[in-house]
Structure 1
Amino acid sequence: MFTAAQRATVVPPEPPTHPRLSLTAVRATRSVLDGGWWPRSRDPVAELPGLILALNERYGPIRQLMLNGHSWDGHFRRLAVGTRVVRAGWFSTVDPAILIATTERGDQIDLLVVPPEVSAATADIAMAAAADPSNQLRAPVILAASRTTPTVARSEGVDATTVWDNEGGHDAREGLGKYSRAEVTHGR
């Protein structure tokens, strides 16, 4: 249940930050995701306005967001972004690795959400995979695999052989080998 303060429209106190975002060049019907986003924190009031403005530019006005309620440090129902108000839904059933945005036209945009605490190398690999229009991996698989690529695994102390794709028992790294840090462009 939301309190009266949470039901009120939130007006961010700071100007929006430039999001660390990687979107597919073209929307592909076979693609699972439309791109990846790497927020700097778990504060939705600080992180979402910049993302919404970037998505508005690319896809048209965003009407609504759906996020995992347990992954963020606060919840609100409405957020003022520029001259518009965007509705937010916080659900325990939405995977923490996903953000779903809906445009005014009803188009759905599915983004991988890279946790803010991961390394830049991990984020770059995950975002490149999420923005690849030929990608058919789901967000949790991309995150798990990007954390265990050989160079990342050595630096983070993860045994790369223990992560398996949840849809068939294949090594989850198989689909990520082609992504390198140089392929991802986003603001830091």
Structure 2
Amino acid sequence: MNASTGRRARHHREDLSPPLPARLTLRPPTFPPGPVNGAWWPRSDDLAAELPALVDAFDTSWGRVTRMAAHRGVWRDAPCDLPVAGHTVRAAWYASGFDPHAVRLFAHGVGRRDLLVVPPGTEEATAERLMSAAADPAHHLTASALLAL
């Protein structure tokens, strides 16, 4: 077996393991709604690997996520179509005019959810503090403002 065959075999085995659940906190419904609806702490900057767990969390509790939007400079790749369990999420990428620390999810007929994206390498205590702040209805801060706390 050569090195590339071994890599393919390992990659295939990794694909068979179930993804870890999304690290996600959501704020309760409030009026007026805040600039963010909660926070997501992905494990890497590989959106194709991270999005399925996030979408799965929303698909079961909110509605099928069909589209997403994010800042192009944050994620390693910027594909237009992201396959997730049972369907594909269409992506819109912005170079400006969109908070670089947010992701926006859309569910057809349900609406949208804006989430603070806690950077993957963030220390656990800091990430937990940010996620709690994003889910707190008393805060009416943008994703970038929350990261500056």
Common fold: TM-score over 0.5? yes
Correspondence for 2:22: 19
Contact 1:14 1:46 in 2 (8 A): no
Letter in 2 for 1:61: R
In the alignment, does 2:116 pair up with 1:112?
A: yes
Alignment of 1:137-176 (within 5 A): 137-145=141-149
Residue from 73, 79, 83 that aligns with 2:82: 79
Distance 2:89 2:41 in 1: 20
- Measured after TM superposition, the shift of residue 62 of structure 1 is 0.6
More strand by percentage: 2
Q: CA RMSD in A?
A: 1.7
- Measured after TM superposition, the shift of residue 26 of structure 1 is 2.6
The number of aligned residues is 134
Distance 1:44 1:124 in 2: 21
**Other structure's SS at 2:58 match:** helix
> TM-score of the superposition, structure 1-length normalised?
0.66
Q: Deviations over 1:87-145 (max 9, x none)?
A: 01121122211101111115010000011111111111111111112321111111111
Q: 5+ unaligned residues in a row in structure 1: which ranges?
A: 1-11, 146-188
Distance 1:89 1:81 in 2: 16
Correspondence for 1:128: 132
Distance 2:62 2:48 in 1: 21
**Other structure's SS at 2:51 match:** helix
Letter in 1 for 2:137: P
Bigger RCO of structures 1 and 2 (CA < 8 A, at least 6 apart): 2
Contact 2:20 2:53 in 1 (8 A): yes
Contact 1:30 1:134 in 2 (8 A): no
Q: Percent identity?
A: 36
Letter in 2 for 1:82: A
